[in-house]
Chain A
């Protein structure tokens, strides 16, 4: 008799676990399905804003307005197996991946059509330390790249260098800053060649 109740207890425990897990997973899945479209839209919008910002095209306002600006200005062009973005005026926006302190840093870097001047940069993904390396996504950091010329080097944060081949580093995040510098310089060097090989 006692043995039987022990088996019952096991069955109850097992059944309870299964039912609870199923309920939780179903609930979560339902919530996810509900907001899936929204999440996808958000990430598309995020990419669009990043590309526009790298191309130095002002994009403010509602999601619809940004999508409209994007559609009017940006086309996707193939270069080898890579997808680049091109603006109406012929500037390039190139997706680049670099290695920071923690892992990869994704960015889009904009160049004018001669690849001499940088039109802008925005970071789409990074795993850097919040408050330190992750500050590369801050506006002042990205904005300072506009109209600069490769090869770039960096100077201490707060210098506000007006030389066109320097940018301000982030204090305490030298590895991240170096990674950004290398990403920009490498792209500026290699991209012109890729335009031709793509054709």
Chain B
């Protein structure tokens, strides 16, 4: 309950901007670097991450509160969280496949990758450590997902524009992507202070 006064909006806002999981915690870097060459791919992956992150954070909160804590199984939480995430991704894949082929082609192909996205597990672990309530967990998960999506979309946009730029040879590809990410991180830090945490 220690975060009562921060309110849902503050958590939501800071998860997207000032405390972006990707730009301040480096979570989910691999797909960020790997899938940010095209805006279309980035958008698909970003949406899938947001969906999975929001749902798994809430699911993990429920599992943690009603299963792990009462039975004193704190030390097992890594395993339990990752199983919940993997199981959710599997189920989501099946459901989306049945629901609409179009949606599956847009989102489904990214789902298997998501289980190993550090950001998903990371958000669940942070949620536990910061002792969020159910409502806060939901907004934190949603905000982090949107923040991640925003970052990868911006990155993909910049990289597309940059295809014609001349980058020093050894820096091309990942190197320049990292420098862009660094500058983006500085820009996002500019949002701090907008809401007093």
CB atoms of A25 and B76 under 8 A apart: yes
Is A131 engaged at the interface, CB distance under 8 Å to the other chain?
no
CB atoms of A103 and B76 under 8 A apart: no
What is the CA–CA distance of A21 and B83 in the complex, to the nearest angstrom?
10
Is B197 engaged at the interface, CB distance under 8 Å to the other chain?
yes
Is B100 engaged at the interface, CB distance under 8 Å to the other chain?
no
Interface centre among B2, B79, B131 (most CB of A within 10 A): B2
Report the minimal beta-carbon distance from B136 to chain A, rounded to whole angstroms.
10
CB atoms of B197 and A103 under 8 A apart: no
Given contacts A99-B2, A99-B3, A175-B197, contact A104 B79 (CB under 8 A): no
CB atoms of B197 and A28 under 8 A apart: no
> Hey, which chain B residues are within 8 Å of A18, CB to CB?
none
CB atoms of B75 and A101 under 8 A apart: no
1/0 contact string of A135-156 vs chain B (CB within 8 Å): 0000000000000000000000
CB atoms of B5 and A99 under 8 A apart: yes
Nearest A residue to B131, CB-CB = A103
- Size bracket of the B interface: 10 to 19
- Size bracket of the A interface: 10 to 19
> Hey, which chain A residues are within 8 Å of B3, CB to CB?
99, 103
CB atoms of A127 and B129 under 8 A apart: yes
1/0 contact string of B55-82 vs chain A (CB within 8 Å): 0000000000000000000011001000
Is B130 engaged at the interface, CB distance under 8 Å to the other chain?
yes
CB atoms of B79 and A103 under 8 A apart: no
Contact pick for A103, options B5, B83, B130, CB 8 Å: B130
> Hey, which chain B residues are within 8 Å of A127, CB to CB?
129-130
1/0 contact string of A94-115 vs chain B (CB within 8 Å): 0001010111100000000000
CB atoms of B131 and A104 under 8 A apart: yes
> Hey, which chain B residues are within 8 Å of A104, CB to CB?
2, 131
Please give the residue numbers on chain A whose beta carbons come within 8 Å of chain B beta carbons, in ascending order.
21, 24-25, 28-29, 32, 97, 99, 101-104, 127, 175
Known A24-B79, A25-B79; 18 more pairs at CB < 8 Å: A21-B83, A25-B76, A28-B75, A28-B76, A28-B79, A29-B76, A32-B75, A97-B2, A101-B197, A102-B130, A103-B2, A103-B3, A103-B129, A104-B2, A104-B131, A127-B129, A127-B130, A175-B197
Query: 6 tightest A-B contacts by CB?
Result: A103-B130, A104-B2, A32-B75, A101-B197, A99-B2, A127-B130
